[in-house]
Structure 1
Amino acid sequence: MCGIAGILTCDRPLDDRQAVLDTMLDRIAHRGPDGKGRLHIQTQALFGHRRLAIIDIEHGQQPMCSPDQRYTLVFNGEIYNYLELRQSLIQRGTHFETFSDTEVLLQLLIKEGSNALSQLNGMFAFVFHDREKNTWIAARDPFGIKPFYYSSTEREWVFASEIKAILAHPGINAQRSDEGLQQYLTFQFCLEEKTLFKGIYKLKPGFFLYGVGNKVREEKCYWDTNYHIDQYHTEEYFVDRLRSLLEDSIRLQLRSDVALGSYLSCGIDSSIVSTLAAQHLGENVPMFHGRFAEGIEYDESSYAKLVAKEVNGQYHEVVPTADEFVSDLPRLIYALDEPLAGPGLFPQYRVSKLAAEHVKVVLGGQGGDEIFGGYARYLVGYLEQALKGAIFETNEEGKHLVTLESIIPQLPMLKQYHPLLSQFLSRGLFEDMDARYFHMIDRSQGLQGYLTPELLSSFDRDELFATFQGVFNHPDTLSYINKMTHFDQKTLLPALLQVEDRVSMAVSLESRVQLLDTRIVDLVTSMPPPLKFQGGRPKHILKKATHALLSSRIMKRKDKMGFPVPLGEWMKMGPVRDYFGDILLSQSSKERGIYTREALEGMLSNQGVGGRISWGAISLELWHREFGV
């Protein structure tokens, strides 16, 4: 796990850019405090690396070159199946000088080029360079677990693990993207390759770029979700196969030469990961949980302690405070590079900080909701689908995935989702699938009274919806559940993984996500939808495959909170209210051109800072300040 940065060019001396590369590396020093490496290839490239040593600690320094110096690799991440790949390469005559996964990746790329990507099981972002031809490949893992950003000037192509490093280049300025802003206000993240910075892009998950010098010649997808439904196997087969793949994913991702622990939010996903990890590692696996002291509605520690006790884990707990929230928030927005997600990133950071005091690698359950259908909005979508089928006697999917009768037992889990249900009942009822889901996730609804008329008039709703449709309407996704989960896997999940990466790497901690294995996702997307989302049961197939692992109290709970933050309570008095008032009502905030003065003044007195709109407003204002946009 590391940070990478570099500048690629064609027949241009780069001596004057060496100080720039040093600054780029300094800005991502938190990603790799264990080592710093640089390589200058005259008139072609400057490569830089910050190392967090996890595998083969004494070796594996980067940038790494082939013995003949022709090929160079700068790599961030882990290749979990590197031992198997190493053995295969040895059988083909390859000699190794280290036991690092970096050298395995380098040798595999030398032999197979971009064809190597389909063989990798891991999380990664890298650049592989051939100095004889001045060609290169830049690639990112299938889910976007590891970040990769890039930009360009007239004669240089610049890349880094974080945007803040790219902004160290004198030819690249921090400017806000109007298209990115519209996407952020609509979805709470930017789609596809877009970012909130004009002219700075992210490499899409599952894609690679092929380039020559400072020019990108080709962008290609090497892995995508497969929705060719397997109608031949039984539920028993899928359950057994899923359990086997979960076990193997855990086995591979436990490979490390340093201490490991696990996040334990006490939801099903993290509980499964923690339990399986404990079965492999034995007793006293460190497990990390966070809670708030403001009330039982912000405290799930009883469930976390139950899981830790059942597997003889070593339970650790942190209780974040309002004062810490105020002190952490600006640096968290800076760490993210772009405002993303909600205030839950604050306790997530505090749990990561706790974990970093005990271990260097932490395991988590990120991705379970998007893969196995765990979000409440999927149930809302199928409530509508069931109502439509019952009223109009229609069936959009060719076979009833859920009936009104079958979905009723699941409805109590929606009692915490009043706004979502109100929106569902008032807008878009019985429209096409894409329009209905867009209405459900469109966060710009309700902003009309808050955004300036100038910004509202610039919104291209047709273009936003068309961009959404391009992702949502995957040609092989015939069922609603596959369309919804596909969109979230391609958009929401990378955004959540960006938060996961930044809050862990901010404290030099490697975070691994065991459910995000392409073999698991390929299996789940090939399952018949009625089996995967049977009767509207969230995570039906995952629960069936792991029911023997967890107590019924964990497996059957319907009150998972999702790490809520007590902003409402903190806003009644004290440092949080004062801080939000200072930021939202500042002159720069009022003159930003995003929210009206009246809206900013009303957010504190009327809506309350705990609301989504207020959170978005302060996140954007802090982002502008931290990056000088």
Structure 2
Amino acid sequence: MCGIIGPPAAGDEWQETVGAMMKSLAHRGPDDAGLTSGKGFAFGHRRLSIIDLEHGKQPMQTVDGRYTLVFNGEIYNYLELRNQLIQQGSRFRTFSDTEVLLQLLIRDGEQALELLNGMFAFAFHDSETGKWLLARDPFGIKPLYYSKKGDSLYFSSEIKSLFSASDIRPRQNWKALQHYLTFQVSLSEETLFDGVKKVEPGCYIVGNRSGMQKIVRYWDTNYQIDNHHTEEYFKDRLLTLLEDSARLQIRSDVPLGAYLSGGLDSSSVASMAADHLGSSIKVFTGRFAEGPAYDESAYARQVAEKIGAEYLEVVPTAEQFVDCLPKLIYAMDEPVAGPGLFPQYIVSSLASEHVKVVLGGQGGDEIFGGYARYLIGYLEQALKGAIFETQEEAQHIVTLSSIIPNLPLLKEYRPLMQRFWHDGLFDDMDARYFRLIDRSPDVETLLTADARRAYNREEVFADFQQVFNHPDTKSYVNKMTHFDLKTLLPALLQVEDRVSMAVSLESRVPLLDTRIVDLITTMPPQMKFQGGKTKYIFKQAVKNLIPAYVMNRKDKMGFPVPLKEWMENGIVRDFIHETLLGKPSRDRGLFDPKALEDLIVKEKTFGRQIWGALCLELWHQRFIDGGMA
């Protein structure tokens, strides 16, 4: 787990620039730093040593200096790949996964990506041909950004380091800002910074001394439905893949632990890790002192006791929230989707005091259909089919009679349902899901007149449709989960990466394995989302690993922050007032000060609109207003 930077098409004169870029990534790799340049490239690396601590230094070059690799992440199946290469005559100088990747790229070029099981972002350069390659893992677990200025291209693990290059300056990207105002994430390759783009998950970029040549998607979700296998097959195959992913991801030469919220995903990951390790594992959780609505630690403690884990807990405070949030926005590079990043950072800080690698359950909701909004969407579909005797899908995946027993899960989602049912009932699937994930449906009422005129909701919806209406997704559940896998999950993984890297901790996510996702996306939808049962097949697969009190929970919280209580008075309320109603915000011309004041002072609550406005203002102050130092 590291930080990588450089221009892949440059010369020795870029060493100073790359050195400056590296300074802003010191937190990503406190164990070592390396800088290598040559004919046509300059690469920098910050290392957090996890595998082969003594060796594996980067950038890594072949003995003759022709090939150079700079790499962030882990190749989990590197031992298997290393053995294959040895059998074919390769010789190794280290036991690191970096050298395995280097040898594979020399042998196979871009085709090597198809062999990798891991999380990664890397740059590879051939000094003889001048060809270079930038690549990112299938799910976007590891970040990779780039910016083009004339004939120069810069890349980095974090956006902020790009601004160390003399001709790149932070400027707002209105297209991505419209996405954030709507979804609180930006779609596709866009970032909030004009001229800075993401290498999208599952993609690579090829270039040479003349510059960037093409962007290629080497992995994508597969929705060719497998109607030949039984539910029993899918359940058994899923369990096999889950256990194998856990086996691969516990490989480490340093202490390893796990996040444990007490929910299904993290409990499954911690349980499988404990089984494979065969010894006590440290688990980490957080809770708030503001009452049971913000505390599910009882479940986490019970799971920890069952698997024989050492349980460690932290209680984040309002004072920490005010102190941390501006720093976290800087660490994130962009505004984020929800306040859960704050407690996640505090728990990561706790974990970093005990281990260097931590496992988490990210991805379970998006892969297996765990969000309540999927059930809400299908409740409408079931009503539509029952009333009009029609069906938009090939067959009734969820009928009204089959969904009724699962509706108690929606007790805590009354505000969302009230807004969802308010209008547009029985519209097309894309229009309805757009309403479900719209984080700020009344955002226009908060904007200034100029910003309202510039905000184009139709354009945002068209960008949404490009992702949602995947041509191979026939069923509603596949369309919803596909959109989330491509947009909302990478945003969550950005939080996962930044809060862990901010404390020099490596975070791994065993549920995100392409073999697992390929199995679930090809599974018949009526089997996967049987009767609207969230995570149905996942629960069937792990039911013997997880205690019944976790399996049968209907009160899973996520990681709610007691901002409503904190907003009533005290330091958080003062912080929000000062940030959103202060002169910089009033002069910015984005949000109408009177509308914000009405929202904050009169409603006396903390919702998605306030969170989005708060993050945007802190981001503007730190990056756009010239406060980068």
The interval holding the TM-score normalised by the smaller chain is over 0.9
**Distance in structure 2 (CA, Å) of the matches to 1:394 and 1:522:** 30
The correspondence for 1:25, drawn from 18, 22, 25, is: 22
1:314-358 C-alpha deviation (Å, 9 max, x unpaired) = 000000001111110110000100001111110000000000000
The correspondence for 2:92, drawn from 81, 90, 96, is: 96
Say if 1:156 and 1:214, in contact at 8 Å, map to a contact too: no
Structure 2 equivalent of residue 5 of structure 1: 5
**Distance in structure 1 (CA, Å) of the matches to 2:390 and 2:32:** 62
Structure 2 equivalent of residue 302 of structure 1: 298
**Distance in structure 1 (CA, Å) of the matches to 2:351 and 2:384:** 48
Structure 2 equivalent of residue 579 of structure 1: 575
Structure 2 equivalent of residue 39 of structure 1: 36
**Distance in structure 1 (CA, Å) of the matches to 2:310 and 2:502:** 24
The correspondence for 1:336, drawn from 332, 338, 354, is: 332
Q: Return 5+ residue gaps in structure 2 as ranges.
A: none
- Equivalent residue of 1:170, what SS? coil
Structure 2 equivalent of residue 401 of structure 1: 397
1:416 aligns with 2:409: no
Structure 2 equivalent of residue 566 of structure 1: 562
- Equivalent residue of 1:252, what SS? helix
- Equivalent residue of 1:224, what SS? coil
Say if 2:440 and 2:608, in contact at 8 Å, map to a contact too: no
1:344-403 C-alpha deviation (Å, 9 max, x unpaired) = 110000000000000000000000000000000000000000000100011111211011
1:494 aligns with 2:490: yes
Say if 2:172 and 2:624, in contact at 8 Å, map to a contact too: no
The correspondence for 1:69, drawn from 65, 72, 79, is: 65
**Distance in structure 1 (CA, Å) of the matches to 2:339 and 2:606:** 9
**Distance in structure 2 (CA, Å) of the matches to 1:4 and 1:264:** 30
RMSD between aligned residues:
1.0
**Distance in structure 2 (CA, Å) of the matches to 1:512 and 1:378:** 26
**Distance in structure 2 (CA, Å) of the matches to 1:365 and 1:557:** 16
Letter in 2 for 1:8: P
Q: Comparing 152-161 with 512-521, which one deviates more in the overlay? A: 152-161
The correspondence for 2:236, drawn from 234, 240, 252, is: 240
**Distance in structure 2 (CA, Å) of the matches to 1:367 and 1:9:** 35
1:186 aligns with 2:203: no
**Distance in structure 1 (CA, Å) of the matches to 2:131 and 2:604:** 54
How far the C-alpha of 1:284 sits from its partner, in A, is: 2.1
The correspondence for 2:153, drawn from 149, 153, 157, is: 157
Structure 1 equivalent of residue 622 of structure 2: 626
Say if 2:568 and 2:605, in contact at 8 Å, map to a contact too: no
How far the C-alpha of 1:213 sits from its partner, in A, is: 2.3
Say if 1:181 and 1:196, in contact at 8 Å, map to a contact too: yes
- Equivalent residue of 2:43, what SS? strand
**Distance in structure 2 (CA, Å) of the matches to 1:203 and 1:423:** 35
Letter in 2 for 1:401: I
Letter in 1 for 2:355: V
How far the C-alpha of 1:470 sits from its partner, in A, is: 1.0
Letter in 1 for 2:188: E
- Number of residue equivalences: 625
- Equivalent residue of 1:171, what SS? coil
Query: 1:505-516 counterparts in 2 under 5 A?
Result: 505-516=501-512
How far the C-alpha of 1:18 sits from its partner, in A, is: 2.3
Say if 1:427 and 1:439, in contact at 8 Å, map to a contact too: no
How far the C-alpha of 1:134 sits from its partner, in A, is: 1.2
Letter in 1 for 2:617: E
How far the C-alpha of 1:410 sits from its partner, in A, is: 1.0
How far the C-alpha of 1:424 sits from its partner, in A, is: 2.0
Say if 2:205 and 2:215, in contact at 8 Å, map to a contact too: yes
Say if 1:362 and 1:511, in contact at 8 Å, map to a contact too: yes
How far the C-alpha of 1:609 sits from its partner, in A, is: 5.0
How far the C-alpha of 1:187 sits from its partner, in A, is: 1.1
- Equivalent residue of 1:240, what SS? helix
Structure 1 equivalent of residue 350 of structure 2: 354
Say if 2:8 and 2:125, in contact at 8 Å, map to a contact too: no
Letter in 2 for 1:369: D
Say if 2:35 and 2:45, in contact at 8 Å, map to a contact too: yes
**Distance in structure 1 (CA, Å) of the matches to 2:423 and 2:505:** 43
- Equivalent residue of 1:417, what SS? helix
**Distance in structure 2 (CA, Å) of the matches to 1:424 and 1:7:** 47
Structure 2 equivalent of residue 176 of structure 1: 172
**Distance in structure 2 (CA, Å) of the matches to 1:609 and 1:213:** 55
1:455 aligns with 2:455: no
**Distance in structure 2 (CA, Å) of the matches to 1:420 and 1:304:** 28
Q: Comparing 410-419 with 26-35, which one deviates more in the overlay? A: 410-419
The correspondence for 2:200, drawn from 197, 201, 204, is: 204
Q: Comparing 406-415 with 243-252, which one deviates more in the overlay? A: 406-415
Say if 1:138 and 1:208, in contact at 8 Å, map to a contact too: yes
How far the C-alpha of 1:607 sits from its partner, in A, is: 3.1
How far the C-alpha of 1:313 sits from its partner, in A, is: 0.4
The correspondence for 1:290, drawn from 262, 286, 289, is: 286
Q: Return 5+ residue gaps in structure 1 as ranges.
A: none
Letter in 1 for 2:177: L
214 and 308 in structure 1: CA distance in 2 versus 1, 3 angstrom threshold: farther
**Distance in structure 1 (CA, Å) of the matches to 2:451 and 2:605:** 22
Query: 1:135-154 counterparts in 2 under 5 A?
Result: 135-154=131-150
Structure 2 equivalent of residue 430 of structure 1: 426
TM-score (norm 2): 0.98
- Equivalent residue of 2:258, what SS? strand
The correspondence for 2:245, drawn from 223, 238, 249, is: 249
Q: Comparing 575-584 with 117-126, which one deviates more in the overlay? A: 575-584
Letter in 1 for 2:94: T
**Distance in structure 2 (CA, Å) of the matches to 1:214 and 1:305:** 57
TM-score (norm 1): 0.98
**Distance in structure 2 (CA, Å) of the matches to 1:565 and 1:344:** 7
How far the C-alpha of 1:446 sits from its partner, in A, is: 1.2
- Equivalent residue of 1:67, what SS? coil
Say if 1:8 and 1:214, in contact at 8 Å, map to a contact too: no
Q: Comparing 202-211 with 21-30, which one deviates more in the overlay? A: 21-30
Structure 1 equivalent of residue 467 of structure 2: 471
**Distance in structure 2 (CA, Å) of the matches to 1:9 and 1:37:** 18
Letter in 1 for 2:525: P
- Equivalent residue of 1:8, what SS? coil
Letter in 1 for 2:58: Q
Say if 1:129 and 1:136, in contact at 8 Å, map to a contact too: yes
Q: Identity of counterpart residues, as a percentage?
A: 61
Letter in 1 for 2:363: G
Structure 2 equivalent of residue 518 of structure 1: 514
Letter in 1 for 2:4: I
Q: Comparing 452-461 with 152-161, which one deviates more in the overlay? A: 452-461
**Distance in structure 2 (CA, Å) of the matches to 1:269 and 1:328:** 27
1:121-163 C-alpha deviation (Å, 9 max, x unpaired) = 0000000101111110100000000000000112311000000
- Equivalent residue of 2:110, what SS? helix
Structure 2 equivalent of residue 592 of structure 1: 588
Q: Comparing 562-571 with 112-121, which one deviates more in the overlay? A: 562-571
1:206-244 C-alpha deviation (Å, 9 max, x unpaired) = 000001126110111100000000001000000000000
Say if 1:288 and 1:351, in contact at 8 Å, map to a contact too: yes
Letter in 1 for 2:54: E
Letter in 2 for 1:37: G
**Distance in structure 2 (CA, Å) of the matches to 1:349 and 1:52:** 18
Say if 1:150 and 1:157, in contact at 8 Å, map to a contact too: yes
Structure 2 equivalent of residue 268 of structure 1: 264
How far the C-alpha of 1:618 sits from its partner, in A, is: 1.1
**Distance in structure 2 (CA, Å) of the matches to 1:432 and 1:411:** 22
Say if 1:580 and 1:609, in contact at 8 Å, map to a contact too: no
Letter in 2 for 1:3: G
